[in-house]
Structure 1
């Protein structure tokens, strides 16, 4: 039968029920049979009982909608959703191609049934029986859908036999009161078409800028398929899925007989985005919270099955307007972070670490319209090395009770046909788990994850660990239904999922599902609590030890992450292109597709992603030359520094299950560092696993030998000296000497010193060796400093007159005994002691900034 012939036979024009070819009585009989199957043993009597309790339908029910109010964390309404974007069209404005498409995909027997479809009801009944009394869908006609959308809640728990019976009864009644044309027109005017758009006539204007009567086949097929999941099949935000759904409708139309295969194939060739209008420009204020708004809508639809656009709900959210403004300004202005262009995208999720409440969220930057793509909840990109604490280091502590010192060798590594490499293509040899995580070494992570001596046989338990953190492991590795070898440093998650998982580290191991909504209240005042329960995802020692290691990342990237007075932990992540992709898109050697940062504190957990939507297009890569490889860190630091500026400093308290020990670095198994060791590191152990045996000391500090003090009267000074203390050749530490003279200390590196003009008293001098912070025993010497022996007084003589002097000059000289110098009886005051100043040493603290030291993931 040709399409035209079929249309003549089944003409889609308005018709009353009594024009149906099948007798009314036969239709009712078949319907009753279907209903009996649906209600099972309860029979027709139970159906009648339920039907009698059905609500009455008014014209307002079929045409009216109610907007929902969104309330922020302060109790203020910040947005009203729905009730605005709706245009009504008359029956003759809806084209036949749209009616054909709708009936082909939703209700092929629409023109023949009396409101319910016996065949569909039978199918639903079978599903009810085989699914343990659960209504699983199917059997709803267009008329029943109109009833459901107009009168009943669509919450899953309301999908009961009573509700289905009432829905069927009201559909039969409605078919008696209205024509098919009126029913399908009401449906087309009421149905949700994505975002804030209701009715196909509204959608035609919003999406394609044309009257509904001018819709073409490919456009009509798109609209007919959207009501199943209008936001998911939105051609603006999800064009790929929208096109798949449109093509399904086209196939159904071929099977329905309304179009030919050739017509369907031609329509499929047209991209779903062709002809789409530019999104409607929105008020800047609504774009500030656009990502948060879409997350709220998705959460309501997922958890309640209410339609938030029409149900008239009061939705209580965790939205923090000030925090949202901070994040929005950071990524949409040049005041805080400089982006190389407007095409580069970002997503961010800010979560309360202790409650899982999403307080702010960025779905993208430089948005052009409301309800744009939300990358925070829908991004499908690898998270790079930010996955390592989740798949490797957390499980290693949780399942194996590894310490932060656990040793591993960074060396060339092969596992089957897989040979991963590090970001720098170098190897660091033996290293601790802490250093491997902080420097984001891939090979140590791969060894811990895959080798049987570590976690190689524990992947099932790792999967349970991840699921306890809200991570869907079936999606974590594209192309696989679970963990693979590269899950050690690679995997797919959304920014919200990633932040939620890390928040468990911040919250002593307790996980709470990230959520935007706390409760909803409907028009009847019925309240639905949506706050999720919390669960223990890991031991407190696991959370604390992972956090302690990740604190070191803040120091590693000090200039990009440090916030004065704010104690935090963080992990970076970067993904790589393949060699083929690099060649095809002319990607520079330092170009990468994705950059991540997850940081957290007892207050907040925040995840940030930066990249391009089309990361394989030439020029769409992150690199050092334009600064884009640092953007995730800079967005985090800039936003967080403003968010926490007024908060008190808080740190995590070490639980009793964790002990700290000083370990001799390089020892394996670990040994306690001996006192004064110059090669010690402080690490954390699960209580009961810490080492008890100490390493042999490298050296022992002893008192200096050869200490002597000598007073030189002619110079009036005391000279002090001793033998140098020598360290072993392999110990590169400075030797200092603590010198004390009668209790006054001085620190020096020389092995001698001089006391000029010493006081005339006994001097007690001690000298001790100091290396690093350890001081050895002291050597001591004493010396008495006093005046020289007193000399006898010279007798006074009279001064001779001039004559006597001349006579004496004429006499020959006779040798005489030298006379003792005259003692005038006065002591000279001792000179001021100048030996009081201390030399000081300047210690320069050099901080290495590893801005360009990104970790790459194979």
Structure 2
């Protein structure tokens, strides 16, 4: 008996020794591994200064989101913004002892070790939320023992450095939840289109189930498995007393309401956003898409929306004027129509439209039946549409810009079964209409002439159809929209608004040309001696040419350059008088701004300022820090210091790598008196001349000029008041005629009018007359000072040194060529 006790005791001692030795050995190994791994772990300071990868966001001046750039959709939120239900759901699903452990859950690790020992594979990692933070922020996702050791050590270090709330905040902002969404705020927007604070309990549990396997439990792709995971989490929440039985039952009965919600902008200004993005990339090339930067532009959301609508409306109107271009595509739907299942029919028909996206308000639709009286269609959205023949009468076949096919007498003249077309709802009648994507393009730029802020910029019909920005990069001939700068050159040389120049034929011989150059006015008419004012608002080509002839090419170019035009793009021949200079809409709007503000060059800018992730301003456009002299001397910005403000590029100190703009920022002396006279003459373009359609605005403070190039290839209108300058261009990307009679006054001016209706302030801008301006009565035929009591005399404004002398001393500038007779006929075509 004693020997048995002794033997047992001996065995016990050996066992204890062996266990102690094993513990010491394991401890030694663990300590060695720990000492080896700790130097490679991040410092406490690095843990406390974790930076999330947050996409770049671009906003309007009034804080509306334009665009978001970055591979990861993420909207970081603070812990106090996270609903309690979400915290509880997550802890129930991922780590129910989160509030108790110190970063490592020994029970969970033991369970994982047991699974490894019994199955030979790792079924679960036993990871706590803290360990997942360690893995997500600092470690790889490989399943190795060394990575697991690092994860454990780093989790312990994180728990010592951060509070539980901070750890949860990091986790909930970092985790990947499917559809490029990182963090719960982005997931709530992606799956439910609303903030996380507005999610129901069922929706909260659904998202809380995603971290385990975002693809497997995706409620959009795998709704059945997502419901199973959601219900399991709800049961866990009930077991842990986070919710009541009633809440559990109600939430389980909730249907799956998740669907994909793409990040939505609040205003369509993608052409402007692309410029801002490119410029910011130059400034912050390393982390512009991940650093959480916010760009605040000068874009005014109201004006931008007005510009987009005006361009869309009138490009479609232009397209319809010239006939129906035909269907975008055609498919054989005979087999689908022969099936007996009408529900399957509709689903199958709409499926054929899945690759056609909506463009502006034009929705893709499929024609499935056509009779003589109507066509029946189904839209991409599933709307059943009937188009009677009377609504298709505009859709005569397009043959050329100047020719259409025969009249439409029945619906089958236009549409056929299987056609894929565009439809839209008329806002006034709420009826469906047939539309089409226009082939012509347009651009619009609106600038505040006092500051240079670009209030609106649209570079085409629709950004995703064509990302080429015509507002900044399409260099096209300006036509007669360039003439105000030619006339300013004349005023600077001693001409007056009353000077008489003969509108008569002229022929130029040039050995370099195969034939003689015989420039004409639009319509081919000549009108004889004409006052300069009348010549501008009637857009007389021959008079512009004679002005440049008198001034000389070099003097004309030297004067025109004062408005910011690049000399390399100015022609060195008489064609400059007709607007052969190739300019972008932004350049022309910038030059017109100098007229609108009374003679001060401005540098247009798009970026107002940029903020970093923490809201600190890391870039402030220098143009926004200075006032600019205007033509209203009562304006507080009227000061000499403003003239010293310069910037190296049109958008501040950094030029976009793409869509670069060449506009000089020099500030030469421009006579405000000549500017005042030119502005007054340009007001007559609207009151009496080629821009008369703009009279519908019923304002006395607007001025402008139409422009059309040979064969109506480019159509322009640029106009302004003291608060806003807007330039509109219409044309084809590959230059070709817009069609007979598609002049600036018809193709471009309606866009300008519709835009200005919504963009102009309700009050008229006050333009103070500069010193040195004199108003006298003149004879409208001769341009001379009128005799006392002379009938038909009119008032004209002059610079004081150029006032015509009294009739008995009159030596006014003579007619340059004495040929022809004046007439009151207005060239309405130009």
Pairwise TM-score range, normalised by the shorter structure: 0.3 to 0.5
Structure with the larger RCO, 1 or 2 (CA within 8 Å, 6+ apart): 2
Larger Cα-atom Rg: 1
Q: TM-score, normalised by structure 2?
A: 0.46
